[in-house]
Structure 1
Amino acid sequence: MAIAQKIVTNLWCNNNAEEAVALYTSVFKDSKVLNVTHSTDAGPQPKGKVLTIEFELAGQRFVALNGGPGVPFTDAISLSVDCETQAELDELWDKLIAGGGKPVQCGWLKDRFGLSWQIVPTYMQQVLLDPDEAKRAR
């Protein structure tokens, strides 16, 4: 069996994986829950509680783990989303900061779970790679 995606991002959630996945799959088109596992007698959560949720956002697989408190998200990692239009950028931005998220700077935001996102126009990469230094500086 071929591996569809060799590297999968895992998100340690503070016992709110279901809520986080519900937000993320509602924000991005072509998103869905792929698999849910529940804790057994072996723990670490009470038997039957959701342990992991494997989900897909716009074709990219992730796993959310109900790991408990003590391991918050930090700015050391962020998810970057390229947007074709200003309307798409505004829509994603508004949905991700709704309910307690906050804008940061330079196209970054933190959602209500503390996960950092970069919501950027696709053309930004073209600007940053332009060989004309003066043009890049502008």
Structure 2
Amino acid sequence: MEINQSNRQKITPFLWFDNQAEEAMLFYTSIFKDSKINSVVRYGDAGPGPKGTVMTASFTLAGQEFTALNGGPSFKFTEAISFVVNCETQEKIDDMWEKLTAGGEESRCGWLKDKYGLSWQIVPPVLLQLLQDEDPQKAKRVMEAMMQMKKINIPALKQAAEQAYSVAE
């Protein structure tokens, strides 16, 4: 089978799992729209993994290609790498947060770790707009509000911005 290299994405995140690559791929593709499994390569008689288990898996989440490897317990995920999911509405934030924190853990400021230890940031684009407001007091109040949140709350951010605006008048 020939792979058309000209249509391939230039940079692909490569995720190292102990032995959960297939499980994680199925989990992630069930959460994100416009997702699919591209290919799966399984270990054969030569190993080093058990014959028939996934060695690598390629999948696409919301148009972004990923590769997963069952590489053993040598390396773990850290917060130094995370994936940002831009969510336009509070409903979408709530949905993504619920799905990705299932079996994982909440952090602060829209960050979470999923059940595999992979870090995600679930954020609305309006957050960056509010943090870059030309009124420094408004931006400061939004930052202070965000720092108190685990899951981002768009109405609370907008309320903080408006309170800052009212104080400035």
* Matched residue, 2:24: 20
Where structure 2 has 5 or more consecutive residues not aligned to the other structure, the ranges are 142-169
More helix by share: 2
**Deviations along 1:50-95, whole A, 9 cap, x unmatched?**
1011000000000010111121111111111110000000000000
Residues matched between the structures, number: 137
Structure 2 counterparts to residues 92-107 of structure 1, below 5 A: 92-98=96-102, 100-107=103-110
* Matched residue, 1:73: 77
**Identical aligned residues as a percent:** 56
* Rounded Cα–Cα distance in structure 1 between residues aligned with 2:47 and 2:135: 57
Moved over 4 A (4+): none
Q: How does the TM-score come out when normalised to structure 1?
A: 0.92
Q: Secondary structure at the match of 1:54?
A: strand
Tell me the C-alpha RMSD between the 2 structures. 1.4
* Rounded Cα–Cα distance in structure 1 between residues aligned with 2:124 and 2:70: 32
Where structure 1 has 5 or more consecutive residues not aligned to the other structure, the ranges are none
Instruction: Kindly indicate whether residue 162 of structure 2 is the aligned counterpart of residue 135 of structure 1.
Output: no
Alignment match of 2:40 (pick from 26, 36, 39): 36
Alignment match of 1:47 (pick from 46, 51, 56): 51
Structure 2 counterparts to residues 81-92 of structure 1, below 5 A: 81-92=85-96
More strand by share: 1
Q: Which has the larger radius of gyration?
A: 2
Instruction: Kindly indicate whether residue 107 of structure 2 is the aligned counterpart of residue 119 of structure 1.
Output: no
Q: How does the TM-score come out when normalised to structure 2?
A: 0.76
